[in-house]
Chain A
């Protein structure tokens, strides 16, 4: 049975008010085509669980779609603070749960195992546990009596992930960074995958060790070329720092509303035609493949 649907059908899999786990990390493999579609469809009141988030979460906040955010970091890295995340926390309009990065991974692992929590060692004097008591608690080891930190399980209503290739059954592969996508897929109640390309199952089978998400976890597969843009999908295309820098500039100039209006008014194919001209495609492919490895002399 084919699970392939169009990007425009995303709204049938994500309802307003739901908890959405987004894949990707830093400036890699965020499900950006799906983020743009959420913005076009205006699916709001979301509790977004990121981990190492960047322009994905900032855009959703900019579009007013995020009620609550669970995160360990939201940053444009060298290109600045994430402007809408920053503003929404400062003006009190966004409820946040700041959970340290490794604890988020532990929480997803708990969710994947159908456990209410998993323990880890404590965070020393960090104040994060006291600020996010819904996510961190103390637990006593039944064997030693020692105290550990319990991390509440993450089981998002829906996971949205971007992969390099998938077949119609939703068997997914990546060749580069995949962040914590495997664990998000295992912990979520529903899994939506956007794929750079849809391939025959033979292609998946030929390279089975790259399959990180099996189809039985996946509910829908959407073909989305440049679906991680402007974040990277190494080795297909690199991080489009030029576009992220433009985004930072646009936001700093107070022009984010027009930027969002443009996104809302165009299809994903129109987005690609507008932003990804031949030169940009050439450059992004080049930086994802032309590697400068240094040999010891």
Chain B
């Protein structure tokens, strides 16, 4: 079996949902999701339409902290206003996949990117959801991913519903003119899916080496445990090679799996490295 890291399993699971049937959108800087889209384009979905910021139809690029934006722009087939993008994709029913990685999610699928504590008098004011409420409500395939699976993140009830997909069931969505599709949660332990409004998330697959008990114990909401649960597909050697050697050689997608301090130190190292490389590569003035 191919040797892989937990984040690589998650990236490959997200990539599996990216195909050529709709538009995948790069939102705020989330290297893990970016890596998944690049991987899909370099493997099973070369013609997947990917939109980044104002750049439409972007190529697969190598991830870095400071160069990704320019790389995506350089070979886009169109530069639209971001308003046009959201009219066409978010509001125009062309959204296929976009990932969300909130601070909290609960068993109804509601997620929180706004506050810890009370909304009006928060303990921690977080950044806000950007376009994620519209993504969650309108897109076909919703993937909520986390670097950690614990009861602080997968909670009984979120402090605030920044967004919530409603309705969830296919028929109810179709009746409202919305794209059909479930919510999936992808974590280091498992993949869970919710495709009906009044039914809990159920474990779809377990990641190798993890158990139902572990999932239930570390989830703050009720989880349905089907009789037979599959195993999350593990990365192939080709996928691992692409990720490590071409898409993300500087390991930016590990950030979601680091604590604050480690993350900061790693960011500093990476930035120094990018600075040195840029200076070394630039022609001497």
Contact = CB atoms under 8 A, between A and B. Distances in A.
A128 B137 CA distance: 13
A226 interface: no
Given A120-B91, A125-B110, A245-B267, A294 B42 contact: yes
A85 B122 CA distance: 12
B279 A100 contact: no
Interface stretch (B14-22, B76-84, B144-152, B225-233): B76-84
Interface string A231-262: 01011001111100100000000000000000
Nearest to A98: B128
A258 to B, nearest CB: 22
Interface string A106-128: 10110000000000111111111
Given A127-B161, A234-B73, A235-B70, A73 B127 contact: yes
Contact of B82 (A27, A73, A179): A179
Interface in A85-108: 85-86, 89-90, 92, 98, 100-103, 105-106, 108
A178 interface: yes
A78 B256 CA distance: 10
B54 interface: yes
B86 A101 contact: yes
Contacts of B202: none
A140 interface: no
A249 B233 CA distance: 41
Nearest to B260: A80
Interface string B144-188: 000000000000000011111111000000001110000000000
Given A100-B133, A293-B59, A294-B42, A126 B128 contact: no
Contact of A238 (B42, B53, B66): B66
A289 interface: yes
A279 B282 CA distance: 10
A270 interface: no
Contact of B255 (A78, A98, A102, A235): A78
A90 B129 contact: no
B6 to A, nearest CB: 20
B74 A238 contact: no
B81 to A, nearest CB: 5
A286 B67 CA distance: 9
B137 A292 contact: no
Given A73-B28, A291-B70, A283 B125 contact: no
A98 B114 CA distance: 9
Interface residues of A, number: 74
A283 B83 contact: no
B114 A78 contact: no
Nearest to B89: A102
Contacts of B124: 81, 86, 90
B67 A238 contact: yes
Main secondary structure of the interface of A (DSSP, over half): mixed
A89 B137 contact: no
Given A105-B86, A124-B166, A294-B62, A77 B28 contact: yes
A92 B41 CA distance: 46
Interface in A260-297: 278-279, 282-283, 285-294, 296-297
A37 interface: no
A182 interface: yes
B278 A283 contact: yes
Contacts of A238: 66-67, 69-70
A179 B54 contact: yes
B205 interface: no
Interface string A171-211: 00001111111110000000000000000000000000000
Contacts of A242: 271, 275
A23 to B, nearest CB: 11
B246 interface: yes
Interface of A: 25-28, 52, 71-75, 77-79, 81-82, 85-86, 89-90, 92, 98, 100-103, 105-106, 108-109, 120-128, 131, 175-183, 212, 232, 234-235, 238-242, 245, 278-279, 282-283, 285-294, 296-297
Interface of B: 28-29, 38, 41-42, 46, 53-55, 59-62, 64-67, 69-71, 73-75, 79, 81-83, 86-87, 90-91, 108, 110, 114, 119, 121-134, 136-138, 160-167, 176-178, 246-247, 255, 267-268, 271, 274-275, 278-279, 281-282, 285
23 contacts: A52-B130, A78-B255, A89-B122, A90-B121, A90-B125, A121-B91, A121-B178, A125-B164, A127-B162, A175-B79, A179-B53, A182-B81, A234-B69, A238-B67, A240-B66, A245-B267, A245-B271, A282-B282, A286-B279, A286-B282, A288-B67, A291-B67, A292-B71
Given A176-B70, A293-B71, 17 more contacts: A72-B128, A73-B130, A86-B126, A100-B129, A100-B130, A102-B131, A102-B134, A109-B87, A124-B137, A125-B163, A126-B164, A282-B278, A282-B279, A282-B282, A290-B67, A290-B278, A291-B74
Q: What 6 A-B pairs come out closest when comparing CB atoms?
A: A125-B164, A101-B131, A292-B62, A124-B166, A75-B127, A291-B71
